[in-house]
Amino acid sequence: ARARPDAADGEVTVAGLRLSDLAERFGTPLYVLDEGEFRDRCRAYRRALPQAHVAYAGKAFLSRAVAAWVREEGLHLDVCSLGELEVAAAAGFPAERMILHGNAKTPDELRAALRFGVGRIVLDNVAEVARLAALVPAHDRQAVLIRVIPGVEAGAHKAIRTGTADQKFGLSIEHGAAEDAIARVLDQPRLELVGLHCHLGSQITSVRPFLAALPRMAALAARVRDRHGVVLPELDLGGGHGIAYRSGEHALDPAEFADDVMRHLVRAYAAVGLPGPQLIVEPGRALIGPAGVAVYRVLVVKRTGDRTFVAVDGGMNDNPRPALYGARPELRLIGRAGARTTRTVTVVGRFCEAGDILAPDVELPDDVRPGDLLAAPAAGAYQMAMASTYNMVGRPPVVAVRDGRARVIVRRETTADLLARDVPLGD
């Protein structure tokens, strides 16, 4: 979020609202989403890539409000489950602008995608080709892309690297798996192969890996032309655009990405005698990540061994990224002016495991104490989307702010919500 810190009183405002007021009003832990910032990011991508289709990857965070913003901003939407598809549909998102992903789509997901009229389905394996074709009604055709593994290493952590063969997504170019699947799709009259897809990984901060993938994708498109006489009109380069989680970190700039990719795309396809394809990109984190901020309240400050632990009222339930990927959010004291001198503390959550560490080494004012508020910027992506209810603790609310106004777009989960799906044994 475009947080505006005011050093004098330690206050931070987002869209004209003080985070400490929002914490008071909605309770903590709290996720604040800056609608204006999200929309600006959508617009920056569309401006940078006017000829491309920009699809927001809903897995980063999706709700009906977010789907409506994406619809209004004219973006496409990447969905990867029946749930995401239904949330988007409930927000009136046009199905023809949706792309369905998944390495193991369920029969229900495929059927729903066809029923809703999803624009593109990205096939990830050979079994899916016949499975999908069998569900398409006679005289109908479903547009599909084939997800291939381009053989390019990129991404911030092993768990989010998908550009090389040693992971579950896509079909290898090298061993002919991709070409075999392509031949099978072209054999199915109810499927229309419109292009190739690849996704290198996530939190990639350099454009270089994307450029490295282009000649490989072009070479495959040329082989498809040579073998089948088919020119594939589209290329989906996936998402993975990295953001700055901490001050001073580098983010992938959409304008720079667009310039370099468009230039290299045309060149790589021209080199194999093909026209530049219609480009699709699928950023998730880069659109919503910087628009979010998490707010926690300090419950305990305690010294154990050589460390000072600052325990807050959230943790791995609302943000599993530190535990999963070694992410280190930047936390700062807000809502009051702290001491001028600082100390290094370990900020931990309230959940029952020692691995519930939000940040192992944060500089906080010396006088940090229970009742203080801590804010973590760049919290909009893959936090609430991956939140759990471990320890029977309900998930925090998401409050959207715009022009001095705050609206709850996902309410706090209560124990009553958790009990609602718990079935007692009865007598």
Binding-site residues for pyridoxal 5'-phosphate, in ranges, read 240, 282-285, 382
Q: Which residue type occupies 129?
A: V
Site for ligand LLP in 353-392 (CB under 6 A): 382
Q: Does 170 bind ligand LLP (CB under 6 A)?
A: no
Decide the pairing of beta strands 191-197 and 234-236. Answer: parallel
Q: Does 13 bind ligand LLP (CB under 6 A)?
A: no
For the bound state, the minimum distance from the C-beta of residue 289 to ligand LLP, rounded and expressed in Å, comes to 8
Q: Does 317 bind ligand LLP (CB under 6 A)?
A: no
Name the residue among 5, 3, 8 with its Cα closest to residue 337: 8
Residue 348 pairs in a beta bridge with 311, 357
Write the interaction track for ligand LLP spanning residues 385-424; mark x where CB under 6 A is met and - where it is not.
Answer: ----------------------------------------
Query: Which helix (H) or strand (E) is 96 found in, with range?
Result: none
Q: Backbone phi, then psi, for 409, in 5-degree steps?
A: -110, -20
For ligand LLP, which residue of 29, 119, 170, 283 counts as binding (CB under 6 A)? 283
Interface segment toward ligand LLP; rule CB under 6 A; list 89-97, 126-134, 258-266, 281-289: 281-289
Burial group, residue 56, by CB count within 10 angstroms (0-12, 13-18, 19+): buried
How far is residue 263's CA from residue 260's CA, in Å, rounded to a whole number? 5
Residues 6+ apart with CB under 8 A from 233: 194, 195, 277, 278
For the bound state, the minimum distance from the C-beta of residue 198 to ligand LLP, rounded and expressed in Å, comes to 9
Q: Does 120 bind ligand LLP (CB under 6 A)?
A: no
For ligand LLP, which residue of 199, 216, 297, 402 counts as binding (CB under 6 A)? 199
Q: Does 142 bind ligand LLP (CB under 6 A)?
A: no
Quick check: 185 and 123 in contact, CB under 8 A?
yes
Q: Backbone phi, then psi, for 271, in 5-degree steps?
A: -60, -25
Sign of CA dihedral 268, 270, 274, 279: positive
Q: Does 284 bind ligand LLP (CB under 6 A)?
A: yes
How far is residue 175's CA from residue 173's CA, in Å, rounded to a whole number? 6
Answer yes or no: 198 catalytic.
no
Quick check: 68 and 91 in contact, CB under 8 A?
yes
Place of tokens 């988007």: 88
- Tell which phi-psi region holds residue 263, choosing left (phi > 0), alpha (psi between -120 and 50) or beta: alpha
Sign of CA dihedral 381, 384, 390, 396: positive
Write the interaction track for ligand LLP spanning residues 44-83; mark x where CB under 6 A is met and - where it is not.
Answer: -------------x-xx-----------------x-----
For ligand LLP, which residue of 41, 53, 97, 101 counts as binding (CB under 6 A)? 101
Place of tokens 């454009």: 207
For the bound state, the minimum distance from the C-beta of residue 11 to ligand LLP, rounded and expressed in Å, comes to 29
Cα 311 to chain centroid, rounded: 27
Interface segment toward ligand LLP; rule CB under 6 A; list 197-205, 253-261, 290-298, 372-380: 197-205
| Closer to ligand LLP by Cβ: residue 334 or 384 | 384
For the bound state, the minimum distance from the C-beta of residue 229 to ligand LLP, rounded and expressed in Å, comes to 29
For the bound state, the minimum distance from the C-beta of residue 101 to ligand LLP, rounded and expressed in Å, comes to 5
| Closer to ligand LLP by Cβ: residue 120 or 199 | 199
Q: Does 35 bind ligand LLP (CB under 6 A)?
A: no
For the bound state, the minimum distance from the C-beta of residue 162 to ligand LLP, rounded and expressed in Å, comes to 7
Catalytic residues, by residue number, are: 352
Residues found near ligand LLP in the complex (CB under 6 A): 57, 59-60, 78, 101, 160, 199, 202-203, 238-241, 282-286, 321, 325, 382
